[in-house]
Structure formats: C-alpha cells, structure tokens
Amino acid sequence: MLDIRALRQDGDAIKAALAKRGFDLDLDAFAALDACRKQADVRSQDLQAERKKASKQVGQLIQSGMDVEQAKAQVAESLKTIDQELDQEVANAKAIQEEIRDFLMGIPNVPQDAVPAGNDEDDNVEVRQWGTPKTFTFEPKDHVDVGEALGQGGLDFERAAKLSGSRFAVMTGGLARLHRALIDFMLDIHSSEHGYEEVYVPYLVGPEALRGTGQLPKFADDLFKMEGERELYLIPTAEVPVTNLAADEILDAEALPRRYTCHTPCFRSEAGSHGKDTRGMIRQHQFEKVELVQLVRPEESDAALEALTGHAEAILQKLDLPYRVVILCGGDLGFSSSKTYDIEVWLPSQQRYREISSCSNFRDYQARRMQARWRNPETGKPELVHTLNGSGLAVGRTLVAILENYQNDDGSVTVPEALRPYMRGLERLQ
C-alpha cells in the first residue's frame, strides 16, 4: 500500500510513475475522498467542543435562576442531540476511512526508475545469460512424453485427472524421489551456503495475511477459499505466511536482515489462464516451491534484490541448467512489486526460455499493509522494513527442465550430479 502522505504531496509524480505500468491513478477521486475525511474529522472535533461546552451549562443555568432539575433536563436534551449527531459523524468518518483504505488497496506499487517501459512480457529486457543450451543428436521430447515414458517410475496425468481433474499430476517411483531430492537440495543450499533460516509455516491463512502481501483484494479469483466457520485460504505461495511472520511487529535493528527459506505446496486456481500451458506441469493448480524471503533496512533493499536473485541462480548453475535473467517492464510487473527479475530456464522442446523464478523488491509496500517495522537506533522510532521474495526455485518447473535437458535417446533421464547424493547415488531414471 502506498503512503497516503506521499499521495497528498506528490500525487502527480506518483501518477506519472504508475503510468509506466499502465495504471491510471484517479487523483480527483482520491482528493474528493480525502476532503470528505477532513470535513468529517473537523465536524467531529466541533461537536466534541460543543458537547464539552454544553455540559458546563448546568451550573450557568442554575446561577441564572433556573430550577436545578429543569437545568439538568435542558442540558441533557441538548447533549442528546449533540451525541446523536456526533455518533452519526463518527460513523460517517469511519465509512470514509474504509473507502480510502479500499482505494489505496487497489493501487499497485510504484515502479522503480530502473524498470523499463513496456506493455507485456515481450517488452522485458534481458540482463544476462548463463550456460549453453545442449545440442541433441535426436529430436528432444517435451517433459510430458519423457515423464510418461518412464512408466511406473514417472508421470501420470490420467490418474491425476481421475482424482482431481485437469492441471494436477501424479509422480511415482524414481521421479517422485527426484522431485523430493530437488526440495531437499534447494533447502540445503539456501540454508547452508546463502544464510537463510529454514522455516515451516501453515498452508492455510486468513484474509489479513493475504491482504498484507497484496493477494487480496486484487487477486481473490486466483485463490482457493475454504468452506467452514473460519475464513481461510490455501496459500498461493509461501511468500504469504513467511512474510507475515513480521506483521504487527517491531524488529530490533540487530535482527535485520532476516532471511527465510521455506518449502510449501502452492495452490492457485489459475483464473484467466484458460488455454495457457494446459499440457504438462508448467501451470498447475497444485505445485511445490522453495521460497526465499528477506526483511531488510530500506537502504539495503536494492542490494538485497541482486543477492537474492543470485541465490536463485545458484541452484540452476549447480544443476547445470542454462538460463537467462530478464528485468520485467512496467506492464508485466507484479501488483505489489517495485522491481522484478525473472529467471527463465531453457526448455529444449520449446526452444525457448521459460520462467522458473521471479525475484522482487516490494520496498515498503507490503510492510505498510502488514505494519512490519524495525526500530531505527539513530532515531529510536519505528520505521517500515523493506520486503523481498523470490522462488528458489519452483520445484515442478525445475523438474520439467531436468527431464528435458537431461533426457537421453533411449528414453532414460540422467540424474544431475548435484542431486545424486539425494538419490542414494542413482545416476539414471529409466
């Protein structure tokens, strides 16, 4: 959520910056709401003053010769009228504050100056490439054909559809073990080499947690909401519960930066994605992800984004999977992000790079929603932290990349060397 004081002072500059991402900020609507709020506040203060003045009139009326009971009755009637109007004005002010909050909740984050202009993914700008795509002596298959050919130790979409419908997968045998190996491998690297603390969190969260990180109210259609006495949602990403660990807290300066890594399943309805990547594991309703989350001092967040992106890249380098990094243009930028790098892995069957991780700096946008703060030792006052997160990595898409890049002519799949210790030394799935 944006700072309301910044909107009042620099509304035109914020409007111009948001135009980079195709968002038209209605400053007139905001000004009208803010004026109504101010008017309601002033009227409430006036009524409070009138009430205070009226309550003193009993003594004055008695001194003027009025009967005590008559004076009390007259003042009580006057107070009753003021109180009724005051209650109405307080309710009006509260309603206006809710309107302003809803208005602010609907405004995306302001893009950083480094974010390029553009409308969609075609306008994203490549930053760097790593690795050389493999040249095959045969026509490489896509991950679905490779995985299904592994038989009892591979992919099964037909039985998954029998259980849950489309966009789910069943994995068995060696492939299921490889999937689990990837999770352990990623967590080990991030916790032992990159300085992240591993955490375990709930897979169900309340609406406030989703509002805190920006999924609500904007992306309600993309969430799976539970039925029951409590309003709970299946998490779309570990970003939600992990970042909200700092909600409504004031952290000591010595506690920053905080780095968390977490493995969870993720659940997304994929609203609006009909017809996109319907084959295979690229876009599913349930998938696994190892997440990276950082809470840092404001002056450290730009450097933290570069470091976090490098931590995600390190996983692909250790697996020897070719990839590239792009910076998202304004039109492709996520709702809450101020700057995002996408890491895209090479898929031989598509002869193109596909997203495997998004690494974003949200600055104080999420922290303001969550009231996640730290105490600045120089001022002694609480200030908003900056939050960052990225996939380190999406496990299913990493598995897809391995199946395609490590496939062999005989239908087998070579296990990357980095994963063999997690596979009890197994070198090949076949």
373 is in an annotated binding site: no
357 is in an annotated binding site: yes
Indicate if 428 belongs to the active site. no
Indicate if 259 belongs to the active site. no
Cis status of the peptide bond prior to 416, with omega within 30 of 0: no
270 is in an annotated binding site: yes
**Which residues sit opposite 375 in a β-bridge?**
382
Indicate if 159 belongs to the active site. no
User: Residues 344, 358, 369, 373: which is the catalytic one?
Assistant: 358
User: Residues 167, 177, 268, 363: which is the catalytic one?
Assistant: 268
**Spatial distance between the Cα atoms of 12 and 175, rounded to a whole number of angstroms:** 54
148-174 core/surface letters (b: 16 or more CB in 10 A; e: else): ebbeebbbbbeebeeeeeebbbbbeeb
391 is in an annotated binding site: yes
89 is in an annotated binding site: no
Q: Where are the alpha helices (DSSP H) in 169-300?
A: 173-192, 207-213, 239-243
189 is in an annotated binding site: no
User: Residues 51, 180, 283, 375: which is the catalytic one?
Assistant: 283
Indicate if 355 belongs to the active site. yes
Closest CA to 277 of 147, 398, 165, 142: 142
Question: In whole angstroms, what separates CA 69 from the centre of its chain?
Answer: 63
Judge contact between 243 and 387, C-beta under 8 A: yes
398 is in an annotated binding site: no
Q: Which two tokens stand for residue 385?
A: 């932290």
164 is in an annotated binding site: no
The amino acid at 160: A
- 367 CB neighbour count, 10 Å cutoff: 24
375 is in an annotated binding site: no
User: Residues 21, 177, 368, 397: which is the catalytic one?
Assistant: 397
369 is in an annotated binding site: no
Query: 190: which residues sit within 8 A by CB, 6+ positions away?
Result: 196, 198, 261, 290, 292, 311, 392
User: Residues 208, 355, 412, 420: which is the catalytic one?
Assistant: 355
Indicate if 98 belongs to the active site. no
Residue numbers in the known binding site for L-serine are 237-239, 291, 391
Residue numbers in the known binding site are 237-239, 268-270, 291, 355-358, 391
Instruction: Point out the residues that are catalytic.
Output: 268, 283, 355, 358, 397
Residue numbers in the known binding site for ATP are 268-270, 355-358
